[in-house]
Structure 1
Amino acid sequence: MELPVQLQSSNGSRPAGCGLALAQEYWPLCDTWGIVVQAAAGAGFVSCVVLMLVLLLRLACESRRRSSAVAALLVFLLATAGIFALPYSFIIALSPQTCPVRVFAFGVLFSVAFGALLARGLALLGVALARGWREVGVTAALALVQVIVATEWLLVVLVQDKRMCQFSQSEFAMLQIYVMVLLVAALMTALRFLRHACVTYSYSYTGRTHRQNKLRAALLVLTLLLSACVWLVWITLLTYGNRAMGRSPLWDEPLICVALTANGWVLLLGHGFTQVRFMCKRSARTKDPPLDFTGWTSPRTQPAAPPALKTGTDNVGFQEDVDGRRGKDVASPGIFMREISAEKDYSIPRPTTTNINEPYDEYYGHRV
């Protein structure tokens, strides 16, 4: 990436949709790949905004305990919306205005997104460091590292050396090393949570929660695996593939635009939409009307009726034999029975010995 870069259409001529007054650095906006990327990125950006509005309305109604999860998801969607907006700085040709956005915002936005997924995985594993509102703090702390790295690189390399955005594709990829570390760490955490959710099984009434945890773990692993594949492809093509095919630098910016849009949709579909749906379903279950136990229990104001006496026989088999011998005209008296109180002890005492260690020592000690 060297300034100035006059990125034109694929055949080097003015696209058909561009006017004569439009500057050459804006020609990719009228090209076919530029229009497709803009449509996909715009749809993703609008979807993120709609989900954030839904979460903001939900945040006002949720309790303090659940509002932390809503806030963490809101931070993730904000970073995803920024990822969808970032391709526009790569569609337009590199300039002193777009250069800081490319260098700084690319790594910072992905560090926030992957840091949020890492914090979510830690929270699902039950790590105390990422519980509650500390999940948002962990995400901010992880993203702050990339902010410092990008700021130092922008100041030292681009300002002090007076190079003005003259950096190679390998240097741009190396700037994202910390982001790749976050991606790998989040993937390992998600795999551990998936293993924990699949191995552990509960026979209690929390079976629905257990199935939901397995689904969350699977979606988190799938999201991070697809993101890792996208990063592996665009870094390989950017640093080696395009140059080997003789398409560098013509395909470099379109490649990054496509990678940004694809990864944004992976994050939005794999984690954004699904988490919002889980939260809405959980809120719907908690708002169900209470169970009506009318007719199941008696009012407390009514006094409890005394237990009725029941009659029974001591030995049914013996009584039938006796009745058969002496005739049916003789009625045997019944035995009145009463319910046993649970507060009293009806256990039968057992005989014990004073010599609990060796009770037969005295017996074997005597000679016959």
Structure 2
Amino acid sequence: MRAHYSLTFLLLFVIASGASENASTSRGCGLDLLPQYVSLCDLDTIWGIVVEAVAGAGALITLLLLLILLVRLPFIKDKEKRDPVVLHFLFLLGTLGLFGLTFAFIIREDETICSVRRFLWGVLFALCFSCLLGQAWRVRRLVRHGKSPSGWQLAAVALCLMLVQVIIAIEWLVLTVLRDARPACAYEPMDFVMALTYDMVLLVATLGLALGTLCGKFKKWKQNGACILVTAILSVLIWVAWMTMYLFGNAELRQGETWGDPTLAITLVASGWVFVIFHAIPEIHCAILPAPQENTPNYFDTSQPRMRETAFEEDVQLPRTYMENKAFSMDEHNAALRTAGFRNGSLGNRPSAPFRSNVYHPTEMAVVLNGGTIPTAPPSYTGRHLW
């Protein structure tokens, strides 16, 4: 019996010590989680949890934009808005890939993870920058000529530009991993940056074309060009910042091994959110927004001529007699009845002699206004208008 209690106590001690050891090394993770993925839930690694939360939110927003674009696609009737839809899809897929690649820099690296990092980083950015370059080319044509290339031409140009980076990434992996038999994770930061030279060329070309979208006679497309320009400028700033930190800043702070992955992960998240906020959302909103009808006046546009409020009185020339008697038209009938009653002797037995009422007939008033005189014996009222 005493041996039974001893075995039970020993078993509980082993379980408690294992749990405490797991809690001390990976607080917030389960017992059966592989050590490779501990950084995804380790509460001691705050940067990993924050970055993966922001990346997850960005991935959800990107998926929502893809769904909205798919649902609203049959209702896009304008040719100039329907053509770049394929380019929008490619751009959103590239942005979604950037958010997904962020998790590869949070988990612990191995040969497979390092190969994925080295290949997809340049390819995904090349896809996004190629789509931006195609959009800048399209908007520049719209601003200057009012017409843009077809959607398939834009998509083909973007994919061809991306394939160049695919070839560069494959060649880099083959030369360093297969030929030199070096581990995939054994690369210098400068080698990683040099392999992204083509991405920098695409970004600079996008910035130059975006500047050209601000000059042209079709002003309604300049807003799209301004969004592309802002996206390109912010991307340039992000790339300058992360390359400076990755190449020089971490080494100066003696944190090269520790801060390398956080620097690259934060760069992916920041670039993805810039793409979503400053390019994807405005472009999709412009694409799904119905075009205003040409014949519908815009009452809030002060540049349009004002509508005439008194068109009838200005265009129709009314007779002078009508204009003079206009003020008396409402009381004409009652005044005529009273005048007729006085003339026919309606005042009891008194004869209808020379009696003059102070209520004038409209015709008599017109004579007075014209400078004439009223005759002594006014004409009898016939019951109809004299004018």
Shorter-chain TM range is: 0.5 to 0.7
Query: Is 2:66 aligned against 1:52?
Result: yes
Match of 2:84 in 1: 69
Match of 1:135 in 2: 154
Give the distance between the partners of 2:288 and 2:77, measured in 1 at CA.
14
Task: Quote how far apart the aligned CAs of 1:216 are.
Answer: 1.6
Give the distance between the partners of 2:124 and 2:78, measured in 1 at CA.
27
Preserved CA contact (<8 Å) 2:140 2:225: no
Task: Quote how far apart the aligned CAs of 1:289 are.
Answer: 10
Aligned to 1:93, what secondary structure does the other structure show?
coil
**1:121 corresponds to which of 108, 120, 136:** 136
Within 5 A, what are the aligned runs for 1:271-350? 271-281=279-289, 283=290, 285=292
Task: Quote how far apart the aligned CAs of 1:120 are.
Answer: 0.7
Aligned to 1:275, what secondary structure does the other structure show?
helix
Aligned to 2:86, what secondary structure does the other structure show?
helix
Match of 2:55 in 1: 41
Amino acid at match of 1:229: L
Q: Deviations over 1:287-323 (max 9, x none)?
A: x9989xxxxxxxxxxxxxxxxxxxxxxxxxxxxxxxx
Preserved CA contact (<8 Å) 1:120 1:130: no
Amino acid at match of 2:125: F
Query: Is 2:25 aligned against 1:14?
Result: yes
Preserved CA contact (<8 Å) 2:86 2:151: no
Q: Deviations over 1:112-138 (max 9, x none)?
A: 100001011111111899443201111
Amino acid at match of 1:265: W
Aligned to 1:285, what secondary structure does the other structure show?
coil
Within 5 A, what are the aligned runs for 1:87-166? 87-126=102-141, 130-165=149-184, 166=186
Identity %, equivalent residues: 35
Give the distance between the partners of 2:117 and 2:148, measured in 1 at CA.
32
Match of 2:192 in 1: 172
Give the distance between the partners of 1:130 and 1:67, measured in 2 at CA.
11
Give the distance between the partners of 1:160 and 1:63, measured in 2 at CA.
53
Task: Quote how far apart the aligned CAs of 1:193 are.
Answer: 1.2
Aligned to 1:217, what secondary structure does the other structure show?
helix
Give the distance between the partners of 1:97 and 1:44, measured in 2 at CA.
25
Aligned length: 265
Query: Is 2:249 aligned against 1:241?
Result: yes
Preserved CA contact (<8 Å) 2:139 2:148: no
Preserved CA contact (<8 Å) 2:76 2:287: no
Match of 2:372 in 1: none
Aligned to 1:110, what secondary structure does the other structure show?
helix
Give the distance between the partners of 2:105 and 2:283, measured in 1 at CA.
30
Task: Quote how far apart the aligned CAs of 1:284 are.
Answer: 5.3
Aligned CA distance change for structure 1 residues 176 and 130 (closer, same or farther; 3 Å): farther
Aligned CA distance change for structure 1 residues 82 and 180 (closer, same or farther; 3 Å): same
Task: Quote how far apart the aligned CAs of 1:23 are.
Answer: 3.6
Amino acid at match of 1:43: A
Aligned to 2:111, what secondary structure does the other structure show?
coil
Query: Is 2:43 aligned against 1:24?
Result: no
Match of 2:301 in 1: none
Aligned to 2:192, what secondary structure does the other structure show?
helix
Aligned to 1:112, what secondary structure does the other structure show?
helix
Task: Quote how far apart the aligned CAs of 1:67 are.
Answer: 3.2
After TM superposition, which residue ranges in structure 1, 4 or more long, deviate above 6 angstroms?
Answer: 288-291
Runs (5+) with no aligned partner, structure 2: 1-23, 298-387
**2:260 corresponds to which of 252, 255, 265:** 252
Give the distance between the partners of 2:31 and 2:295, measured in 1 at CA.
65
Give the distance between the partners of 1:130 and 1:163, measured in 2 at CA.
46
Preserved CA contact (<8 Å) 1:119 1:130: no
Q: Deviations over 1:83-124 (max 9, x none)?
A: 111111110121122122101111111101000010111111
**1:227 corresponds to which of 217, 235, 249:** 235
| TM-score of the pair, normalised by structure 1 | 0.67
Give the distance between the partners of 1:14 and 1:182, measured in 2 at CA.
43
Preserved CA contact (<8 Å) 1:130 1:138: no
Greater Rg by CA: 2
Give the distance between the partners of 1:284 and 1:67, measured in 2 at CA.
12
Give the distance between the partners of 2:148 and 2:193, measured in 1 at CA.
31
Task: Quote how far apart the aligned CAs of 1:64 are.
Answer: 8.8
Q: Deviations over 1:56-80 (max 9, x none)?
A: 1233343593432111111111111
Deviates more, 1:122-131 or 1:162-171: 122-131
